[in-house]
Structure 1
Amino acid sequence: MADRGLSHSKGHSAAGLRDACAAAGVEVVCPACSGEIGWSETALECRACGRAYPVVAGMPDLRLAPDRFLSLEADRAKAVAVLDKARGRGYGAALEAYWSLTPELEPSLARGHLHRQLCEREAGAGLWQEVEQRCGAPSGPVLDVGCGLGGFVAAAAKNGRTSVGLDAAFRWTLIARLLLEEAAVDAVVLCANAEYPPFRAKTFELAVANDLIEHVTDPPTAVAGAARAASTLYLASTHRFSLAPEPHVRLFGVGWLPRRMQSGYVKMRRGHAYDRVRPVTAAELTERVEAAGLTPGEVFAAPVFAGHLGFRARTALRALERVPRFAPRIGVLGR
């Protein structure tokens, strides 16, 4: 029997989130010491170590460190600014507001990100099918570590699972909450670091870390955090040695350059640095799983969810996926 769903979409309150998590058997604990949390509408406070975590727009900020782009305070401020600019017009409007408030990114790249993000629910459904095929249909709670905009969280909930998403970007968690509302599913997103998930060990049957480790500051600790939270781990990432364009900057050959030369090349071609993303090799993927105390399976070509791309681009990606050595994305299971 599938687990009960959980929801905090109505009212956007800390109390609603607390009650939903408790009803589903998902206890939120202090990410710093695993102590019991006391909840209020302004902050969550650890009863063991005394650390306080602010609540903004009904979302607790359980991070111990910021993501690689914005400080904790700037991230929360931008998230609120996005909601204010979107004026209650839903997920798509929030994305448009976000990119209008991010002028530092080259406009063509921003448009590409927007088009991809507007297909988030379809991508999440595709990832759910991929995970089912690789892992079998999980019957217990599912955690998406680095959930981004929540497409997989929504898909897992649509399939009757207790579904929780975790992301270190506060701005994405507030927009993901809008996606879950529009999908009409019972699910939860939380803002916390992958390295320090705020849950008891093995709370979840399955943790999915899709497009995560290339973005975090400390990949080994992030994978260890995901492995600690769940019994099985699905780990997939952008492949450094792919023959496809690097998806974050849409340039060929970036990964084939020595690491020390990559940022300069991207700076020359795109006008901005390339120091906040680090696609992985197959060996690195396996090493991360082993270091987390799990047994890795064989590295496989993970699918690219490319509904936002044209027919020719999708066809080329499908062809590359048949050759794992040069696939755009690679994955591995850890058990």
Structure 2
Amino acid sequence: MSDKATMIWRCPTCHGSLSVIDTNLRCESCQAHYPVIDDIPDLRVALDCWIDLDEDRKRAREAADRVERDGLEATIHHIFRSSRGMDERKAGYRTRQVLAGVEKCQSQCSDWLKPAVETNGIILEIGCGPGQLLAAAATRGCDVMGVDVSLEWLVIARHLVERYGGKPELAAGFAEQLPLADNSVAAIVSLDVIEHVGDQDAYVSDLRRVLKPGGFFGLSTPNRFSLSPEPHVNVWGVGYLPRSLQARYVKLVKNQPYTFTRLLSVRETKKLFSGSRGFEAEVVFPTIPEQELSGFKSAKKRLALIYNWMVGIPLVKLFLPFFGAYYRVSGNIKN
């Protein structure tokens, strides 16, 4: 554990400073202890979530050993096969998707996330997963940090970012209880995360807490009211139902659970970012990127191209909150 890491990270409960005790971290204020695995502190607290924390720590240790033994690509493939229960074909596809994701994120860094990579300070990604965006930002010389609920994926993120020449600071943590001091980062990026957070209001409040005045934030999320299938379960019409019926509907149609997923409408998102919190936020429905289109089958690609054409029509933009696929929220904190 580096001295820099203990200076950056804070106790997620009381935001006190951390010190190294043997191979763990201890909060100097409340005396809470946190383990460190593969040089990554586990700063998660007791919150309901989709992941079993003890099992995740075990898998993280296994992933760290496997990367050294079998390499990064083989380890990612193993995670999809074992932890995520995918068959060989799908695991191979998702592994290639992870590795190709760095190029996709580099494109975003030149587009709507350009203010983040041009900031003079630390870029924090909340929900960094296997680290593609952190790797893309590292190629531009950015000072990057990542928080994710999955310690297993953070082991992958560490090695992926290092492959691209970066030295990331990573920690396992919850988005609604970030292990960081107030006003400590210059930019925050959080892609496809807010819909999985247990307390979305707390998530937005903590984003505001750790972001410096004038700092940039960029989020993306699937639209609740979308004519396309719900992306996590591939079921049509979920978002148009009352929330009390959504899980039962998904269970009936797909025989799958629908927990720890709460898609937001544009109206609901704007309400979260409104009020006295000091956000200056803009909501945009972007076109589907070319990198994603290339992976679609012919029928789906034709529909996506029609959607991209419609997004550019001024009158249609007024109705995108009621059928658009996904949207971005970006802006700054008022000085």
Name the TM-score class by shorter chain: 0.7 to 0.9
Q: Equivalent residue of 2:78, what SS?
A: helix
CA deviations on 1:156-203 (whole Å, 9 max, x unpaired) are 221122111111111111111121122222322221111122222121
For the 8 Å contact 1:142–1:163, the answer to whether it is kept is: yes
2:308 paired with 1:330: no
Question: In terms of mean alpha carbon deviation, does 294-303 or 71-80 score higher?
Answer: 294-303
Q: What is residue 216 of structure 2 aligned with on the other side?
A: 232
Q: After the TM superposition, which residues 135-284 of structure 1 pair with which residues of structure 2 at under 5 Å, given as runs?
A: 137-230=118-211, 231-284=215-268
In structure 2, list runs of 5 or more residues that go unmatched. 312-316
Taking the aligned partners of 2:84 and 2:122, their CA distance within structure 1 comes to 39
Q: What is residue 27 of structure 1 aligned with on the other side?
A: 8
For the 8 Å contact 1:213–1:222, the answer to whether it is kept is: yes
Q: Using the aligned pairs only, state the percent identity.
A: 27
Q: What is residue 9 of structure 1 aligned with on the other side?
A: none
Using the size of structure 1 for normalisation, the TM-score is 0.83
Question: In terms of mean alpha carbon deviation, does 95-104 or 40-49 score higher?
Answer: 95-104
Using the size of structure 2 for normalisation, the TM-score is 0.83
Q: CA separation of 1:86/1:249 partners in 2, compared to 1, >3 Å: closer, same or farther?
A: farther
Taking the aligned partners of 2:94 and 2:48, their CA distance within structure 1 comes to 18
Taking the aligned partners of 2:117 and 2:165, their CA distance within structure 1 comes to 25
Taking the aligned partners of 2:255 and 2:96, their CA distance within structure 1 comes to 21
Aligned-partner residue type, residue 140 of structure 2: N
Residue 211 of structure 1 and its aligned partner are, at CA, apart by: 0.9
Q: CA separation of 1:194/1:84 partners in 2, compared to 1, >3 Å: closer, same or farther?
A: same
Taking the aligned partners of 1:169 and 1:148, their CA distance within structure 2 comes to 7
Aligned-partner residue type, residue 101 of structure 1: S
Question: In terms of mean alpha carbon deviation, does 317-326 or 176-185 score higher?
Answer: 317-326
Work out the number of aligned pairs and report it. 316
Q: What is residue 295 of structure 2 aligned with on the other side?
A: 309
Q: Which structure carries more relative contact order (alpha carbon 8 Å, separation 6+)?
A: 1
Q: CA separation of 1:304/1:164 partners in 2, compared to 1, >3 Å: closer, same or farther?
A: farther
Taking the aligned partners of 1:302 and 1:286, their CA distance within structure 2 comes to 17
Residue 135 of structure 1 and its aligned partner are, at CA, apart by: 6.5
Taking the aligned partners of 1:302 and 1:227, their CA distance within structure 2 comes to 24
Q: CA separation of 1:84/1:168 partners in 2, compared to 1, >3 Å: closer, same or farther?
A: same
For the 8 Å contact 1:120–1:149, the answer to whether it is kept is: no
Larger radius of gyration: 2
Taking the aligned partners of 1:292 and 1:330, their CA distance within structure 2 comes to 23
Q: What is residue 5 of structure 1 aligned with on the other side?
A: none
Residue 108 of structure 1 and its aligned partner are, at CA, apart by: 8.0
Compute the RMSD of aligned alpha carbons.
2.8
In structure 1, list runs of 5 or more residues that go unmatched. 1-13
Q: CA separation of 1:332/1:268 partners in 2, compared to 1, >3 Å: closer, same or farther?
A: same
Aligned-partner residue type, residue 153 of structure 1: L
CA deviations on 1:184-234 (whole Å, 9 max, x unpaired) are 223222211111222221211111121111011111111211221113322
Taking the aligned partners of 2:125 and 2:272, their CA distance within structure 1 comes to 17
For the 8 Å contact 1:67–1:216, the answer to whether it is kept is: no
Q: Equivalent residue of 2:19, what SS?
A: strand
Taking the aligned partners of 1:164 and 1:139, their CA distance within structure 2 comes to 14
Q: CA separation of 1:108/1:81 partners in 2, compared to 1, >3 Å: closer, same or farther?
A: same
Aligned-partner residue type, residue 185 of structure 2: F
Q: Equivalent residue of 1:65, what SS?
A: coil
Taking the aligned partners of 1:264 and 1:164, their CA distance within structure 2 comes to 38
Q: What is residue 314 of structure 2 aligned with on the other side?
A: none
